[in-house]
Amino acid sequence: MTIPRKVLKKLQEIVGKDSFSIEREELLCYAYDATGRHFLPDAIVFPKNSLEVSAVLSLASQQNFFVIPRGSGSGMTGGSLPVKGGVVLVMTKMNKILDIDCDNFIATVEPGVITGHFHEAVEKRGLFYPPDPASSDFSTLGGNLAECAGGPRAVKYGVTRDYVLGLEAVLPTGEIIKTGVQTAKGVVGYDLTRLLVGSEGTLGVITKMTLRLLPLPKCVRTMTAVFKSMEAAAETVSEIIRQAIIPRTIEFMDNASVNCAESYLEIGLPREAGAMLLLEVDGEEHAVEADIEKLKVLCFSQGATDVNVALSEVERSNLWKARKSISPALYRLAPDKINEDIVVPKSKIPHMVRKIEELSGKIGLPIASFGHAGDGNIHVNIMLDKKQPDQVTKAEAALETLFDYTLKLGGTISGEHGIGITKSAFIAKEIGEVELELMKNIKRVFDPKGILNPGKIFD
Ligand SMILES: Cc1cc2nc3c(=O)[nH]c(=O)nc-3n(C[C@H](O)[C@H](O)[C@H](O)COP(=O)(O)OP(=O)(O)OC[C@H]3O[C@@H](n4cnc5c(N)ncnc54)[C@H](O)[C@@H]3O)c2cc1C
């Protein structure tokens, strides 16, 4: 897409000289996301408030150019990529925490706030915002809302949508809307808030959000359990859930994930582990200690070869560093990866794990699995070299089998990363024809000219 010079000039006037660029070096920085794919935008703008966002979208509507919202570009499915060119709307300058209301347990924030900064700010006041994607050190809250991010704590606390009470958003026409409430509950009209959360930046640009908070848990304890096989670890997860123990995280890593994280960080992770569980419990101290004891006994009874409870904050933070480093560390296995985030009913995790091992053997490519086992959410990483056509063919065939088996088990093809561009070819496997048409009609109502984030989800 080529945007006429006079329109670019108008864009620059809206956001100001310092918040606009058409320089190739700068455009390149906003051409990528975590998929490693890249598409060069025509321009980038950094709005500072919702009026500027509105003016950019009004202009786009009048002049017919595409606008692609972007937070930190850590999305795993290409949601922020300008696949058809256009203007990338980088939200990182709208990064103020406007209010933390300790009496009503709500916060009002702008979308460019880094998730981890928000955690720190509320925790200083004895409050807790549970959604905690492994990218929290660099992802924005706007990106988290647009993807309905999950993360390790979802097993006990739910996902991002469970903490969004209300929004301010700008429609592709430039109109500014307010959805939801500033109160603990509210049911007036259709739930536009829930519609926007998880809409992957295709229906509107989120410019402000009201988030629900909880009291900060008094005590948190973290432990690891090492198993000889992925299957034994998966069976243990099912048993933890059957016994109604609810840790706030039940993460798992297979042998490849443990080894890649260890090579990256060198913190003494057990390289020989067939699989490792990372369990975290929170609440009142006596209840936490009791749960940790129950989990120790349960893990050993399920065949754990070693169980360790973190004794210091350093040990605990090292374990989380290891977990959070897996995704980039996996590139030690191969230069490329196809990264999926399927979810199966929790009781079906052992079936899925067997299938993944079988698939890896069949295609002769390493498949590293890790993720949020407590939710049945498995990050399946098919490691390959995309320059080798036979590897690409094998990996793509494995993907079809993986998705078909996931759906056969009653699962879903994406638990938290969204559809974006990488999974749009598979959406019809899961969503029926009528439902898909309903979704496309909703997109047309919000965005009659199709200018906002084109080529995502359906195309
Ligand atoms: C190492 C790593 C670990 C990860 N771990 C997790 C995890 O544990 N759980 C999980 O759920 N996800 C995880 N993710 C993926 C996750 O989707 C993103 O990290 C995060 O939610 C995206 O935030 P972002 O600011 O980078 O958004 P971007 O990647 O910039 O954008 C993501 C989508 O949001 C849209 N968007 C951005 N801002 C706005 C806005 N203000 N209004 C409307 N739309 C907007 C974009 O158009 C795009 O479609 C991980 C990613 C990485 C790289």
Note the pLDDT tens digit of each residue in 269-300.
Answer: 999 999 999 999 999 999 999 999 999 999 99
CA angle 295, 301, 307 (to 5 degrees): 50
The pLDDT of 195-206, averaged and rounded, is 98
pLDDT value, residue 184: 85
Residue 66 has pLDDT above 80, yes or no: yes
**Do residues 33 and 101 touch, judged by C-beta distance below 8 A?**
no
C-alpha dihedral (27, 451, 64, 33), degrees to nearest 10: 10
Q: Which of 110, 46, 116, 107 is nearest to 74 (CA)?
A: 116
Q: Are strands 127-128 and 214-215 parallel, antiparallel or unpaired?
A: antiparallel
| Res. 99 pLDDT band, cuts 50 70 90 | very high
Question: In angstroms, rounded to a whole number, what is the distance separating the alpha carbons of residues 57 and 64?
Answer: 10
* 197 or 373, which is more confident: 197
State how far Cα 435 lies from the chain centre: 24
- To the nearest 10 degrees (0 to 180), the angle between helices 50-63 and 5-15 is 170
Query: Separation of 83 CA from ligand 1 center, angstroms?
Result: 17
Specify whether the CB–CB gap between 352 and 380 falls below 8 A. Answer: no
**Whether residue 206 has its Cβ less than 6 Å from ligand 1:** yes
- Share of residues in the chain with pLDDT > 70 (%): 100
* pLDDT tens-place string over residues 253-271: 999 999 999 998 898 899 9
Q: Report the pLDDT value the prediction gives residue 350, as an integer from 0 to 100.
A: 84
Ligand 1 lined by 208 (C-beta under 6 Å): no
Strands 87-90 and 67-70, how do they pair? parallel
Cα–Cα distance measured from residue 141 to residue 96, given in angstroms and rounded to the nearest whole number: 11
Question: In the structure, what pLDDT confidence band is assigned to residue 330 with cuts at 50, 70 and 90?
Answer: very high
Q: What is the mean pLDDT of the chain?
A: 95
What is the per-residue pLDDT for 346? 85
Tell whether ligand 1 has an atom less than 6 A from the beta carbon of residue 416: yes
Rounded CA-CA distance 299/308 in Å is 11
15-24 average pLDDT score: 97
Nearest CA to ligand 1 atom 2: 135
Report how far residue 322's alpha carbon sits from residue 270's, in angstroms, rounded to the nearest whole number: 12
Taking 80 as the threshold, does the pLDDT of residue 246 lie above it? yes
**Contact yes or no for 134/323 (Cβ under 8 A):** yes
Query: How far is Cα 318 from Cα 278, in angstroms, rounded to an integer?
Result: 12
Q: Could you give the CA distance from residue 225 to residue 223 in angstroms, rounded to a whole number?
A: 7
Q: Does the pLDDT value for residue 459 go beyond 80?
A: no
Between the CA of 59 and the centroid of ligand 1 the distance, in Å, is: 26
Mean pLDDT over 441-446 rounds to 98
3-state secondary structure of 55: helix
Question: Which residue of 48, 53, 68, 76 sits with most ligand 1 atoms within 8 Å of its CB, as the best mutation to test the pocket?
Answer: 76
> Residue 430's pLDDT band (boundaries 50, 70, 90)?
very high
Full-prediction pTM beyond 0.75?
Answer: yes
* Any ligand 1 atom below 6 A from CB of 33: yes
Alpha carbons 294 and 326: distance in angstroms, whole number: 28
Q: Residue 2: its pLDDT value, please?
A: 87
The answer to whether the CB of 77 is under 6 A from ligand 1 is no
Enumerate the H helices of 243-333 as residue ranges.
255-265, 285-301, 313-329
Within 10 Å of residue 84's Cβ, how many Cβ atoms?
15
Residue 244, both tokens:
């109604």
Give the lowest-confidence range in 159-163, 167-171, 254-258.
Answer: 254-258
> Can you give the pLDDT at residue 228?
95
Q: How far apart are CA 100 and CA 291, in angstroms?
A: 32
Distances (CA, A) of 211 to 138, 159, 234, 302: 19, 12, 34, 40
